[in-house]
Amino acid sequence: GENVEQHPSTLSVQEGDSAVIKCTYSDSASNYFPWYKQELGKRPQLIIDIRSNVGEKKDQRIAVTLNKTAKHFSLHITETQPEDSAVYFCAAVGYNFNKFYFGSGTKLNVKP
Amino acid sequence: SAVISQKPSRDICQRGTSLTIQCQVDSQVTMMFWYRQQPGQSLTLIATANQGSEATYESGFVIDKFPISRPNLTFSTLTVSNMSPEDSSIYLCSVEESVYEQYFGPGTRLTVT
């Protein structure tokens, strides 16, 4: 089955700096890559996603890039704010579109 | 996106008992899923709740332990049976609203003593 690895496990940045979280996957058939943000005690929220036919997608301060050849994708957050502090999960979805394989999560701390 | 609710939001149960968690969606959805999130961990898919047929379970999860019902396109239940402290987790339902996109319910925080 698919194996998704996520790094780093924790990330601390100063407010206004950029943050980058990276994920790799093993199944070349995976074709959908969502990112979820989970604040403490809250549900995971879909913040951005990318499909395999696209190399990059942006939504205001967040962007996701995908390198299918290398089988890795990344989340980029620019101009970080304290409210960006949360745990971020990547996931990969393959030929069996029901099954999301989640990364282990990255705890982002944005220091004011 | 659809409004997803879960009941109860949290519970404390004694070992050996069972708890049924409800997931309600305000619109009809084809795909509903149940996940477990152990403390400080990632999300693990328990099963896909199929309307009108038996749920599809992932490796490591069995129907006797986690029976699931899906009587219609807006509702599903997950039962955690014969609970032990290792079942203490957050249980989340999710729905697929468009191709691939999944949205999560608020979760049920279960503590087994």
Residues B55, B70 contacting (CB under 8 angstroms): yes
Chain A, chain B: beta-carbon pairs less than 8 Å apart: 44
CB–CB contact A34 B99 (8 Å): no
Instruction: Nearest by CB to A43, from B48, B100, B105: name it.
Output: B105
Residues B98, A32 contacting (CB under 8 angstroms): no
Indicate the average pLDDT of chain B.
94
Residue A35 has a pLDDT of 98
Average pLDDT over residues A59-83: 96
Is residue B99 over pLDDT 80?
no
Looking at the complex, does the CB of residue B93 fall below 8 Å from at least one CB of chain A?
Answer: no
Q: Which residue has the higher pLDDT, B82 or A100?
A: B82
- Per residue in B43-66, pLDDT tens? 999 999 988 888 999 999 999 999
Residue A97 has a pLDDT of 60
Report chain B residues whose CB lies below 8 A from the CB of A103.
42
What are the phi and psi torsion angles at A92 (to 5°)? Answer: -130, 140
- B108 is written with which tokens? 């049920």
Cα-to-chain-centroid distance, residue A40: 17
CB–CB contact A49 B101 (8 Å): yes
Best mutation target among A10, A39, A43, A57 (most B Cβ atoms within 10 Å) is A43
Report chain B residues whose CB lies below 8 A from the CB of A89.
42-43
pLDDT band (50, 70, 90) for residue A52:
confident
